Amino acid sequence: MQLRQTFPGIRGAVAAISLFALVSEGAVTPIPQRFQQEIALHRSITNGLPSGPVQLVDSGAADAVRCFIEGHWYTLKAGSWSAEPTLDPTSPEEFAFAGSDGKRRTLKLPWADVRQILRRGARTWVITTKDPVEVPFVQPPRWLAWPSKWTIQNAAVSSLGKLWIASNAGLYEEDERNWRPVPVVDGVGRSWATTNVLTVGFDLANRVWVGTRAGLATRDATGAWRFFEGKDGLPVSDFTGASAAADGTMWFGTRMGLVRWDGTGFQYRQGPRWLPGDDVRQVLADPAGGVWAATTLGLGRIEFQPMTLAAKAARFEGEIAKYIQRTPFGFVAEAPLKKIADLSTASPEDSDNDGLWTAMYGAGECFAYGATEDPAALERARKAFEALRFLQVVTQGGNPSPDKGYVARTIRPVEWPNPNVGRIEGDREEQKRDALWKAYEPRWPKSADGKWYWKGDTSSDELDGHYFFYALYYDLCARTDAEKARVREVVQGLTDHLVSHGFALVDVDGKVTRWGVYGPQEMNRNPYWWVERGLNSLSLLSYLAVTAHVTGDQKYHDIARELVEKHGYAQNLMFPKAQQGPGSGNQSDDEMAFMCFYNLLRYGKDPAVLNLVRYSFFQYWANDQPEMNPFFHFSHAAMNLDRSITNVWGTFSVTPWPGWLEDSRATLYGLPLDRLNWSHKNSHRLDVVELGMTGSKDLYAAGREGRGHRTNGKVLPVENRHFNHWNTDPWHLDYGGSGNELGAGTVFLLPYYMGMYHGFVEKP
């Protein structure tokens, strides 16, 4: 049955999209270039500080920052810390410090008991668990009569100079040398702070903030309290301190990291990417809007630096060129480090998907050149093309050698250890888990010139990446007939290989690779392949559309039409992912699908098929939109923004829902500059909801426990995760890693340049 008979009236109802269709001018307000980049500095601001717990951090006269460590004071001067022995206590029963005038002041109390130094104008307060002491500028110290049976846990000073105490007996305000209890009661009469108040602080508007195990509360000018719990986005509640920043934000120290309130929501900073230790003893915001954190493992600092997206891209480009690119061809993946956090020890290795990762990096460079005509971007794109082309060239002429057009996964020099040694045994073990897994030798043949091992059993991941890149390179970067001919040769060679082998990728052993299967006999009739049916049908149609575009040969459109009309490939691609809702299914497939949807909608010619593709793309994007992935958002918006589809029931919008651009901006701005694989822990968070896709409900559930999302339904922000590529499961809560591997900035560069090309990101 032909497609036109199955879907009457569709053919001709939707006009084919024009090549490189951009969003209409003014359809979106581009993401601004300028933003505030959050940066952790605990590895670069500790020069001169001893290691170990930091007891106090203090900002005194002229905003000089001091640390108190094991009975000694250290002052930050010109970026380095120096000891201040004149401020040190002379005995364990004395506490010495700099007064508001910068001169040495002393108190007769054990220095080890001091928990805070508070300052307002010429007045200073020193706080221990039992004694709050005021130290005026000229008068003798004033010991405030705090009840000895109660423990002080934190203190703050209001704009009126009143001392507030958070204690295990509740919240109290100093009132004419007495202590007045302050009730914290919500709108239905529930008391939140009758006992065990953990912290208290004041923001710049003099609103008091109170932290308990139940959550945070703040009181406005009318006396009404507002409460925050996990359901309101509060990540943790084991508070140890509070401090107001000059930009109006509030920072809260906890036993498990830092929490920041920016006026609209909370941000959470935990783990070695952000802090030297999670147990924050004291938090001190500074006039620049940053924060100092005294932790049990050292001093931390987080600050915000003005930056542009272009500068961020340049940093990632520099890291890739200097530390990550491998072989003279410049393959891009990730780079293990021989020494933790030392980029100079980067030692990049071959990756199973070098072709895919290099293609995605190169695609970003194509978009960059298309948007800016930057010759440096053009040169990087050309290098990526030569690397990917070589993966096809290197497979030919050796012994053994696959048929023409076959593309390798990756290469490695013959000077490295032989990767075939011990490989067959591992493959046979894998066959016990996967009945379709191939065990053959050599999986790593040698090139004809004897210089390279190249890896076979190439997967569909690689092909999706190759075709995604080649189409962009052909249109945006190949400037001469000779350059276009080189692209044409590679694309046609690969496609003809697939077509001549029954729509399959055939290896040196004469058999189809494990994942290189696209033919209708397997897709539609082999029960092993039902899960891949939709995605592989989508992939093959996109390959044929790209090849027809690059070669100008109608036969590839004709082949695609036959697959659609005789084998139902258009119907197949309507369900390209086996899933049970957001967070389910295979994330690697998502990355592949978005590349193929993008290409098929750009280069496909059949309006009826494109009508189906457009709606399938919308459904796919709708399932993935909580992941806040700018590459996914931009790919979909570029093809579907302000568009609709038509079927027998009417016309339906496929434009992305509101919020896609804001989420893309948050991810591009928020992605840390530090691309090292630091660990993150989020499973303890109060604002996390466990993802219910476990057990038999999810085809891919095995080993995927510990997954969840925030109470707003979206995945954790990129600041709380680490991933090398967009195929990483963003629903995981906890991440391992020890700072011994550098991930490529491709995860930023590709969506950034793509967004700029399509008008979603402001040009520099």
User: Model confidence over 442-465: pLDDT tens digits?
Assistant: 999 999 999 999 999 999 999 999
For residue 703, what pLDDT is reported?
Answer: 57
Q: How far, in Å, CA of 127 to CA of 336, rounded?
A: 46
pLDDT (0 to 100) of residue 122? 85
pLDDT for residue 13 is more than 80: no
Cα torsion through 459, 462, 466, 468, rounded to 10: 100
Q: Is the peptide bond before 442 cis (omega within 30 degrees of 0)?
A: yes
Measured CA to CA, the distance from residue 236 to residue 686 in angstroms comes to: 6
Residue 141, pLDDT above cutoff 60? yes
How many whole angstroms separate alpha carbon 328 and alpha carbon 315? 21
Q: How far apart are CA 319 and CA 560, in angstroms?
A: 41
Distance CA 748, CA 597 (A): 20
Residue carrying the six token digits 């029954």: 502
Binned at pLDDT 50, 70 and 90, residue 1 comes out as very low
Q: Which of 93, 57, 61 is nearest to 73 (CA)?
A: 57
- Bridge partners for 282 per DSSP: 294
Beta bridge partners of 646: 651
Contact 714, 662 (CB under 8 A): no
d(CA 411, CA 455): 6
pLDDT at residue 377 above 50?
Answer: yes
Q: What percent of the chain has pLDDT over 90?
A: 84
Distance in angstroms (rounded) separating the CA atoms of residues 660 and 614:
17
For 177-202, how does the pLDDT look when each residue is reduced to its tens digit (9 = 90+)?
789 999 999 888 888 878 899 999 99
| Cβ pair 199, 239 in contact under 8 A | yes
Could you report the per-residue pLDDT of 528-542, keeping only the tens digit for each? 999 999 999 999 999
Q: Cα–Cα distance between 378 and 358 in angstroms, integer?
A: 15
pLDDT of residue 10: 26
Angle formed by the axes of helices 587-603 and 607-624, to 10°?
A: 150
Tell me the torsion sign for CA atoms 600, 601, 602, 607.
positive
Cross-strand bridge partners of residue 652: 645
Query: Omega of the bond prior to 89 within 30 degrees of 0, cis?
Result: no
Question: Any idea which residue has 């049976």 for tokens?
Answer: 149
pLDDT tens for 655-690 read: 999 999 999 999 999 999 999 999 999 999 999 999
pLDDT band at 62 (very low <50, low <70, confident <90, very high): low
pLDDT number for residue 16: 28
pLDDT at residue 112 tops 50: yes
Residue range 57-62: mean pLDDT, rounded: 79
Element (H, E) at 598: helix 587-603
Instruction: Please give the average per-residue pLDDT across 57-81, as a whole number.
Output: 88
Nearest CA to 368 out of 381, 357, 358 is that of 381
413-438, pLDDT tens digit by residue? 999 999 999 999 999 999 999 999 99
Mean pLDDT of 742-759: 98
Give residues with Cβ within 8 angstroms of 137, minimum separation 6: 99, 100, 101, 122, 123
User: In this predicted structure, what is the pLDDT of residue 242?
Assistant: 98
751-760: pLDDT as tens digits: 999 999 999 9
Residue 564 has pLDDT above 50, yes or no: yes
The CA-atom distances, in angstroms, between 628 and each of 43, 116, 119, 481, 709 are 29, 40, 42, 40, 12
**Helix 630-640 vs helix 587-603: angle between axes, to the nearest 10 degrees?**
30
27 has pLDDT over 90: no
Whole-angstrom distance, CA of residue 288 vs CA of residue 305 = 9
What span, in angstroms and rounded, lies between the C-alpha atoms of 705 and 345? 34
Angle among Cα 7, 8, 9 to the nearest 5 degrees reads 115
* CA–CA gap between residue 533 and residue 508 (Å, rounded): 25
- The pLDDT assigned to 4 comes to 29
Query: Region 60-65: what's the mean pLDDT?
Result: 73
What is the enclosing helix (H) or strand (E) of 107? strand 104-107
With H, G, I as helix, E, B as strand and everything else as coil, classify residue 664: helix
Using a 10 angstrom Cβ sphere, with 0-12 exposed, 13-18 middle and 19 or more buried, the burial of residue 221 is exposed
| Residues β-bridged to residue 173 | 164, 180
Cα(409)–Cα(19) distance, rounded to whole angstroms? 30
For residues 595-620, average pLDDT? 97
Average pLDDT value for residue range 229-244: 97
* pLDDT reading at 318 higher than 80: yes
pLDDT-derived band at 747 (thresholds 50, 70, 90) equals: very high
Q: Give kind and range of the element (H or E) at residue 287.
A: none
Task: State yes or no: pLDDT of 698 exceeds 90.
Answer: no
Separation CA 181–CA 27 (nearest Å)? 55
State CA 12 to chain mean position distance.
41
> Whole-angstrom Cα distance, residue 243 to residue 472?
50
Q: What is the pLDDT of residue 523?
A: 97
Neighbours of 355 (CB within 10 A): 30
Report how far apart, in Å, the C-alpha atoms of 743 and of each of 8, 348, 521, 603 are: 49, 10, 39, 32
CB-based contact 295:280 (threshold 8 Å): yes
Mean pLDDT of the chain: 92
Identify the CA nearest to 100 among candidates 71, 134, 128.
134
Q: Half-sphere exposure of 700 toward its Cβ, with a 13 Å CA cutoff?
A: 16
Backbone angle region of 459, left / alpha / beta, with phi > 0 → left and psi within -120 to 50 → alpha: beta
Cβ atoms of 123 and 134 closer than 8 Å: yes
Confidence category of residue 61, pLDDT binned at 50, 70, 90: low
Contact between 150 and 128 under an 8 Å Cβ cutoff? The reply is no
Q: Could you tell me the domains of the chain?
A: 39-304 (2.130.10.10)
Bridge pairing between strands 298-308 and 34-40: antiparallel
The pLDDT assigned to 136 comes to: 84
